[in-house]
Amino acid sequence: MKVLLFGGTTEGHALACRLAEAGHSVTCCVATEYGRDLLEPQSGLTVLTGRMDKDAMIREMDRGYDCVVDATHPYAALVSENIRAAAQTAGLHYERLLRPSEAAENVITAESSAEAAELLADMPGNVLLTTGSKDLAVFASVPDFQKRIWVRVLPSLESLSCALELGYPASHIICMQGPFSKQMNIATLQDIDGAVLVTKDTGRAGGFGEKAEAAQAVGAKLLVIRRPTTETGLELEALLKKLTEDIV
């Protein structure tokens, strides 16, 4: 089977590698060179780097694939919409790899990054922001953000440059690859005297539980940005089984 997989997530990488190990031909599309470097070279796996619009996706899908898998981040709503639409146009079988949500207690929720930034304006204390580099501009609207907010982003030049250009101090930028343990989150919150931890609903693969537990352990508030859409699909093991047993 020839599979076109749009990845970038931990579970997307795992699915791509396991399909290739099972003898299938997998082309994994990632947005950045950093995402490419996280995939170890192996037989049967080809990696395409660079962001695609819908038309570019259709052109790639016309290269003789048997199915398309959307394994992008649950917050990449526009990308997922484009993948679904492109697969329909190309007439290819489509599957969505789901990242399940995780529940937590004493959560403050926001419908968007903009709403979360508004809430932070009225919440005292230092902030550990773990929502990624794409939202940094939104949180730069928070009063005294240079003093209050510490950002944790991927260790890439793109993420670091984005933070610096927006005015986040170098001493407030943590460039590290997650997911992080409860102990690491606790240590970071204690180091910055954090009163609020901001996260997305990243699920187990994104270390959501460890963040929630760490915030509770140090008495910090947990501010969670809700997922933009409710999706249907399959989790990793179920989708792997379907692709290797039911579709082949």
Per-position DSSP letters for 84-117, written without gaps between them: HHHHHHHT-EEEEB-------SSEEEESSHHHHH
Task: Read off the amino acid at residue 129.
Answer: L
Predicted confidence band at 143 (pLDDT cuts at 50, 70, 90)? very high
Predicted model pTM? 0.84
Average pLDDT over residues 117-146: 96
In Å, how far from its chain's centre is CA 51? 15
pLDDT of amino acid 21: 93
Q: How far is it, in rounded angstroms, from Cα 222 to Cα 197?
A: 5
- The H or E element spanning position 175 is strand 173-175
Cα angle: 53, vertex 55, 56; to 5 degrees: 65
Q: Model confidence over 86-112: pLDDT tens digits?
A: 999 999 999 999 988 888 888 999 999
Average pLDDT, the chain: 93
pLDDT of amino acid 3: 97
pLDDT of amino acid 10: 86
Q: Model confidence over 57-74: pLDDT tens digits?
A: 999 999 999 999 999 988
